[in-house]
Amino acid sequence: MTTLVWFKRDLRMHDHAPLAAAAQAGPAVGLYVIEPAWLASPECDARHVAFVLGGLALLRARLAAKGLPLLVEHGPMTEVLERLRQRLGVVRLFSHEETGPGWTYDRDRAVATWCRAQGVMWQEWPQTGVVRRLRSRTGWAARWAARMNAAECAEPRGFTAPRLDLPELPMLAHLGLAPTRVPLPESGEDAALATLDDFLQRRGGRYRRELSSPLGAATGCSRLSAHLAFGMVSMRRVHQATEARIAALQAEGDDASRRFAHALRGFAGRLRWHCHFMQKLEDEPEIEWRNFSRACDGLREPVFDRMRFDAWCQGQTGYPMVDACMRSLVATGWLNFRMRAMLVSFAAYHLWLHWRQPGLHLARQFLDFEAGIHWSQMQMQSGTTGINTLRIYSPTKQARDHDPQGVFIRRWVPELARLPLPFLAEPWTAPPEVQRAAACVIGRDYPAPIVDATQAVAQAKDRLYGLRRQPEARAEADAIQSRHGSRKSGLPPTTKRARTRRARSPGDLQRDLFADEALS
């Protein structure tokens, strides 16, 4: 009789409760399944699969050294389980809970049905701060802290396991995927822990001042988001290591150490917000497809402007900061939090696009795609939660504030490389002779603005604020705040500005976080 340890988004050995339990349960086998439903899902990209395969290679070797074989199968989950039940006499299935896209909910329901029919015991453990079947958000942060401060699960010493022949890991081509051209970071638990250590010991002191910069954030942020998204390091390990480093810096007592600790305290807060947003999808899976606020139904849906959407996806909107950010993201798989928020804001307010299709495009580009954070943030930045302040980013202001020398724009929009800096954020304002001298004639070498920003934003505000003033929308907002808002959860505001608004606008306490924002 065999226990299967089902690896999903938890590709590590340390602080892995199902793995630790299996080591005490008798013969065991590890299992990872590359599911056709994942490969066919609209948010999946070859970059995600390649990153996972890299992590699986290391995990398989590490598990083998402990005596546990790791099977990597390709097929529908229940079909794989049935084959292994007949082959190995599987009686137990151990795994972590998962808060993921709709296909994972459907898959888990099918697995539960199969387990009941076959008499297989399926036991799940939480691995983040997300609480299954949560009745109320009141006190959620205290529950998060209790879970994250609990002792980590020790790495098992060894396993008993049947002898199995393990085929080589599949290549992308074997799975019907084209090679990815995105440069991927090193994958696996060792790389995740090295990244964490490098951030806490060296890079983290720049965190607060570089978080918003599309240039500085590449090294000033933690860069743990992809590792956390695929569970190559546990949230508990990151939390406890961060708190230990803050305590050590504070004990040193000098000014430099205190500044470093202050920077890391900002990061520590975002670990809580990371799970807060995942909890929203756990509590209401439908937000992947439909508006938080049903009062917003029909607001953007009737017409989908394919020309505007394609220009946004291709970095051809005529707004240099928007285009530079999109091109950078497509090429690298990563972008800092403020620029992610700006991309969505531009799609939602300037282009008046419904959040679903832009969200799918971004999901494929983000190596750190985390469904719970992603869809909550797509709606927050699009104004469809019903409880959050409308955050409309000016691409021109973002360029001048966060790329004042034009380094980022010139790197990713080379058409503008020779344009003088005063015109770089708004190239259409450059006189014709300046455009010709820079070999960048607007409308020929680089697009004219796809919309008039002032008019587009004014129209968006009129529509959304008008909608929010309706009694039905206001009543619905109260219910949404009660179910998903942060105040009753116990989460503290993370900025002085948020603290000053707390009494009068609870929804404003929601933060502008995407996957790496919760981890940056």
The three-state (H, E, C) secondary structure of 411-432, written as one string: HHCHHHCCCCHHHCCCHHHCCH
- What CA–CA distance (Å, rounded) separates 279 from 339? 24
267 annotated as a binding-site residue: yes
| Model pTM above 0.75 | yes
Per-residue confidence of the chain (520 residues) as pLDDT tens digits?
Answer: 899 999 999 999 999 999 999 999 999 999 999 999 999 999 999 999 999 999 999 999 999 999 999 999 999 999 999 999 999 999 999 999 999 999 999 999 999 999 999 999 999 999 999 999 999 999 999 999 999 999 999 999 999 999 999 999 999 999 999 999 899 999 999 999 999 999 999 999 999 999 999 999 999 999 999 999 999 999 999 999 999 999 999 999 999 999 999 999 999 999 999 999 999 999 999 999 999 999 999 999 877 899 999 999 999 999 999 999 999 999 999 999 999 999 999 999 999 999 999 999 999 999 999 999 999 999 999 999 998 889 999 999 999 999 999 999 999 999 999 999 999 999 999 999 999 999 999 999 999 999 999 999 999 999 999 999 999 888 898 889 888 987 667 776 655 444 444 333 333 333 444 444 334 3
Helix extents (H) in 126-179 = 140-149
- What CA–CA distance (Å, rounded) separates 129 from 257? 29
Helix extents (H) in 178-305 = 189-201, 207-210, 217-220, 225-229, 235-252, 255-283
- What CA–CA distance (Å, rounded) separates 426 from 428? 6
Taking a C-beta distance cutoff of 8 angstroms, is the pair 198, 206 a contact? no
Distances in whole angstroms, Cα of residue 11 to Cα of each of 15, 18, 143 = 11, 12, 25
Q: Which domains does the chain have, with CATH numbers?
A: 2-127 (3.40.50.620), 189-283 (1.25.40), 288-477 (1.10.579.10)
- What CA–CA distance (Å, rounded) separates 420 from 163? 67
207 annotated as a binding-site residue: yes
- What CA–CA distance (Å, rounded) separates 514 from 329? 14
